[in-house]
């Protein structure tokens, strides 16, 4: 059992989403009191949608936020409705901006001509912002965090990666055909994620049950399960619903 992880289980997705939003909002307030800003790391995917819906109702114009998304397909146009840029704009950036909260929203550029240069720029931008205060993560059925697929090194940095076949398969539900599903992405590295001051991992639904039970049964990190590196971090919160925990 991963004793360092602080695990909470909620009865359903709605409660999980509300509690996650409250947790994030509390951290934003605390961090704001100390330094007048807050730097968040943000995920895409189905899991965080409920949390974003709640969070945008809590954040108002007294907050200054800087956010860094975990990953983006590469290459992809920003206005492609499957890009993570598009997802974030719809789920968070636009709703937040309409509450006049002041934000600087960052995401790897899927249109960059030179992906290596873009990865370095992104790492530097995180450093320049003073690092990430709270990183919010989902988890893939294969244990990936961001697009850090099985085999990712614990000290890996933001880089261009090949997306695992099982992830391509999982992502294909959003595309018209397998041929359209991107095979590469720019992702923050495991090392980049582990430098965040605090981490909140979210998992919901039956499809996450196997990976969560595998993760919680581990005694030490396993390179084939990228999320298992979280055991080495002192401040990781895991929010589950009962279907993911059962
Ligand atoms: P999901 O994706 O929230 O859509 O399940 C999570 C992930 O693959 O990281």
Task: Report the alpha-carbon distance of residue 144 to residue 137 in Å, rounded.
Answer: 10
pLDDT, mean of residues 103-125: 97
pLDDT, mean of residues 127-141: 98
Task: Inform me whether the pLDDT recorded for 3 exceeds 80.
Answer: no
Task: Inform me whether the pLDDT recorded for 235 exceeds 80.
Answer: yes
Alpha carbon nearest to ligand 1 atom 7, residue: 140
Which tokens in the block code for residue 50? 């409920």
Task: Inform me whether the pLDDT recorded for 117 exceeds 70.
Answer: yes
Question: Does 46 contact ligand 1 (Cβ within 6 A)?
Answer: yes
Which tokens in the block code for residue 49? 């949608």
- Closest by Cα among 91, 96, 93 to 61: 96
Which tokens in the block code for residue 90? 């719809």
Task: Inform me whether the pLDDT recorded for 2 exceeds 80.
Answer: no
Question: Does 140 contact ligand 1 (Cβ within 6 A)?
Answer: yes
Task: Inform me whether the pLDDT recorded for 1 exceeds 60.
Answer: no
pLDDT at 60: 81
More confident residue, 59 or 51: 51
pLDDT at 228: 97
pLDDT interval class at 232 (50, 70, 90): very high
Task: Inform me whether the pLDDT recorded for 153 exceeds 60.
Answer: yes
pLDDT interval class at 103 (50, 70, 90): confident
Task: Inform me whether the pLDDT recorded for 75 exceeds 80.
Answer: yes
pLDDT at 98: 79
Task: Inform me whether the pLDDT recorded for 203 exceeds 60.
Answer: yes
CA 34–ligand 1 middle distance (angstroms)? 32
Our mutation pick for probing the ligand 1 site, out of 170, 172, 209, counting the most ligand atoms within 8 A of Cβ, is 170
pLDDT at 37: 92
- Closest by Cα among 113, 116, 91, 83 to 182: 83
Please check whether residue 59 is in contact with residue 32, taking contact to mean a CB–CB distance below 8 angstroms. Answer: no
Residues in contact with 129: Cβ distance below 8 Å, sequence separation at least 6, in sequence order: 39, 66, 68, 104
Nearest atom within ligand 1 for CA of residue 202: 3
Task: Report the alpha-carbon distance of residue 186 to residue 12 in Å, rounded.
Answer: 32
Q: What predicted TM-score, i.e. pTM, was given to this entire model?
A: 0.97
Q: Which residue has the tokens 């039970």?
A: 213
Q: Which helix (H) or strand (E) holds 181?
A: none
CA 33–ligand 1 middle distance (angstroms)? 32
pLDDT, mean of residues 178-186: 95
């Amino acid at each position: 059992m991963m004793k360092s992880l602080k695990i909470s289980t909620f009865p359903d997705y709605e409660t999980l989403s509300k509690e996650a939003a409250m947790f994030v909002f509390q951290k934003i307030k605390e961090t704001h009191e100390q330094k007048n800003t807050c730097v968040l790391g943000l995920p895409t995917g189905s899991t965080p949608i409920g949390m974003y819906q709640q969070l945008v109702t809590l954040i108002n114009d007294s907050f200054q936020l800087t956010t860094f998304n975990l990953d983006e397909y590469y290459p992809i146009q920003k206005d492609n409705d499957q890009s993570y840029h598009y997802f974030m704009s719809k789920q968070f950036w636009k709703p937040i901006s309409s509450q006049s909260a002041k934000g600087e929203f960052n995401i790897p550029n899927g249109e960059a001509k030179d992906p290596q240069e873009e990865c370095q720029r992104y790492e530097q931008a995180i450093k320049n912002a003073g690092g990430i205060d709270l990183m919010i993560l989902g988890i893939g059925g294969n244990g990936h965090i961001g697009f850090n697929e099985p085999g990712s090194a614990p000290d890996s940095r933001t880089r261009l990666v090949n997306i695992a076949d099982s992830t391509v398969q999982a992502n294909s539900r959003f595309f018209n055909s397998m041929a359209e599903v991107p095979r590469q992405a720019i992702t923050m590295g495991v090392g980049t994620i582990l430098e965040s001051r605090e981490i909140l991992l979210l998992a919901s639904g039956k499809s996450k049950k196997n990976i969560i039970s595998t993760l919680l049964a581990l005694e030490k990190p396993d390179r084939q399960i990228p999320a298992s590196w979280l055991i080495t971090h002192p401040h990781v919160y895991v929010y589950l619903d009962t279907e993911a925990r059962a």
